[in-house]
A and B are shown apart, each in its own frame.
Chain A
Amino acid sequence: MLAVQIVIAILFILGIYTILNRKNVIKIIMGINIMEASLILFLIQLSYKDGGTAPILDKEYELIVDPLPQALALTAIVIGASTTAVMLFLAIKLYKEYGTLDISEIRRLRG
């Protein structure tokens, strides 16, 4: 359990590092998505039980994983995907205006 949580922590800080230190807008968006992926992984880790099967009860089962975090994960994915779509759209708009995706360049051009 701890191993997965360390992976989650690494992904989370990797996302924050990318957002803070990268200049490219697309890379910043990727950083946000990496953070989001870490949280979704956390939700899945929360529902995981050793030897559990997927929460679809169409055949014999012994142990079922917790279905609630999976439903929450689906909601979180959809919300994240929509926000990403809007961000990518704005990135395209900025690229068309300034001809670059570098945020330091964009700030300089603004003057």
Chain B
Amino acid sequence: MTFKKVYSLGLIFLLGILLVVTFMNFNQNNFNNNYDLSEYYINQGVQDTKSINLVTAILFDYRGFDTLGEATVIFIAALIISLLTKRSTSSLVYNNFSPLVYQNISFIVPFLYIFGFYLIFYGHLSPGGGFAGGVVIATIFVLLTITFGVRRTREEDVLRAKSLLENLGMAGFVIIGLLGMVSGYNFLANGQAGFYLGEAGKLISAGTIPWLNLMTGIKVGASLSIIFNCLVREVE
């Protein structure tokens, strides 16, 4: 037993040294002038997309296809988790907190909604975007579930609605991408297809980016709250 432990420790230590040597080797020939792609994004990105947040510009415009893919990953995760959860009919889960908790949560929920949608709609102007905003919206459902419990009778309907929203968000993403094809350009085309880019720094600008952000936000919020609900149901 101890021999095996020493053996694996030694092996892993060797692996670590190999990794550091590899990194050092890769540091050596640093072709500094070679990062022309990121230089382009920094210099031309705002003109191209009118989105001040370059990470959002890359995520939803230059490499929007990757984003479709990663949204699909969450979609599949939520689908399989909700499929494998047992349709339980246990009674109402009820936690006893002090009234302070209930009051505070009720007070904070509208602000969380505003914050989540702010993150989504200002994704191209400030840090944030569809994924972060969607996570904030999902936390609202998490908070509500933890404090007020789950009403079993309504849970099926709520899950059904959330799954509908999720599918709508995904389909909306693809359909916005298809709009670019309708106007004669390629899938997920934004500025080239003549969408209103507007002026950089304004709320209504950057063409399809805010809409894609909105779709992703809806989708991520719905998916994550489905995952949370199913995990909670499975734990009981």
Residues of A within 8 A of B (CB): 1-2, 5-6, 8-10, 12-13, 16-17, 20-21, 47, 54-58, 64, 66-68, 70-71, 74-75, 78-79, 81-83, 85-86, 88-89, 92-93, 96
Contacts and interface: CB of A to CB of B under 8 A. Distances in A.
Interface stretch (B37-45, B90-98, B154-162): B37-45
A61 to B, nearest CB: 9
A66 B8 CA distance: 38
A13 B16 contact: yes
Interface in B4-53: 5, 8-9, 12-13, 15-16, 19-20, 23-24, 27, 35, 37-38, 41-42, 45-46, 52-53
A82 B73 contact: yes
Classify the secondary structure of A's interface with B: helix
A66 to B, nearest CB: 4
Interface stretch (B125-133, B175-183, B205-213): B125-133
A75 B24 contact: no
A56 B52 contact: yes
A100 B95 CA distance: 26
A47 to B, nearest CB: 8
Interface string B96-133: 00000000000000000000000000000111000100
A64 B42 contact: yes
Interface string B164-178: 000000000000000
Contacts of A79: 70, 73
Interface in B124-162: 125-127, 131
A21 B16 contact: no
Contacts of B57: 67
B84 A56 contact: no
Given A64-B42, A71-B55, A78 B23 contact: no
B234 A5 contact: no
Max chain A C-beta neighbours (<10 A), residue from B24, B42, B231, B235: B42
Contacts of A10: 16
